Amino acid sequence: MVGQCDESISFNKLTPEQESPHEHQQNLLLSRVITNVEKLNEAVMVMNKSLQEINIQNMNVELVAQMFKNYQSNVLFHLEATDNLKPPS
């Protein structure tokens, strides 16, 4: 009859026991990706901590270099002011 619904039609809904064949593999791959990203994140955090320590040490080196540059400039000024600056030999 027209207008009647045929209840025998199924929509291929999969129950958890009937996963699609690729879904399990995709879940495994996704799990591996997540694990690797977590490991990468930990490694990047360790690297950032190391870079922070290196930057702190570089600040000390930069400070000494600036002090030496200022000292050299002061010596040059003093030698010029006292007419003791001699050409390099």
Question: How far apart, in whole angstroms, are the C-alpha atoms of residue 58 and residue 66?
Answer: 12
Would you kindly state where each structural domain of the chain is located, as residue ranges? 35-83
The pTM of this model reads 0.53
> pLDDT per residue over 45-75, tens digit each?
999 999 999 999 999 999 999 999 999 999 9
| DSSP sequence for 48-60 | HHHHHHHHHHHHH
Return the minimum-mean-pLDDT range out of 31-35, 44-48, 75-79. Answer: 75-79
Q: pLDDT at position 21, please?
A: 73
Q: pLDDT at position 87, please?
A: 86
